[in-house]
Amino acid sequence: MVEFYYHDNQDTKENFTQDHRGEPFDIKNLTSIGVIYRKVDTLDELNAIAEERNYRNRDEVKLSLDTFGGDKTAYNAKMEQFYEEHYHEDEEIRYIVEGEGYFDVRDQNEKWVRAKLFPKDLLILPAGIYHRFTLTEGAKYVHAMRLFKDEPKWEAINRSSGYESDIRTSYAQSVSS
């Protein structure tokens, strides 16, 4: 089952797949940053959520060293890309089918909240929230279903770019204290 806690901020380029467990984070506080978590046991439940939230498309992705044909350079480059702090102009919806991974999201005070996701965990991130993703050190594998309101796309706007769209600004205003 999912685990939520504050990130300890001790990560480096070499160890970001480790646990980095800090203070506990109360799952009830997710709503204050617009994040939704659900445990989804069946495909029927997932389909009902998709219909309720108007998700019309989906795809599946598998991430592991094997996904990259054993090419550690390509694998590491992709993991570093996913771990770079970014946001999207659409909701990000991920359902974990197999394996496990970490989603880190920024709270209202710019602290990282880490979600350790396992099979049957569904996480919905609002458009505009800064976040990042990595596999866990133990599993180093995830099979996730991605749901989309429109055509499947994955366009990240990295925080390091300095660009903040109207969607990012609107999100930040919606969660400001």
CA 75, CA 135: separation in Å to the nearest integer?
A: 11
What pLDDT does 12 receive? Answer: 87
As a whole-number percent, the residues of the chain with pLDDT over 90 amount to: 87
- Tell me the binding residues for Ni(2+): 86, 88, 92, 131
Structural domains in the chain, CATH included, are 3-172 (2.60.120.10)
Question: By mean pLDDT, which of 6-15, 23-32, 100-109 is the weakest?
Answer: 6-15
What pLDDT does 14 receive? Answer: 83
- Tell me the binding residues for Fe(2+): 86, 88, 92, 131
Quick: pLDDT tens for 69-88.
999 999 999 999 999 999 99
Task: Flag whether the pTM goes above 0.85.
Answer: yes
What pLDDT does 152 receive? Answer: 66
Q: Is 171 exposed, middle or buried (CB count within 10 Å of its CB: 0-12, 13-18, 19+)? A: buried
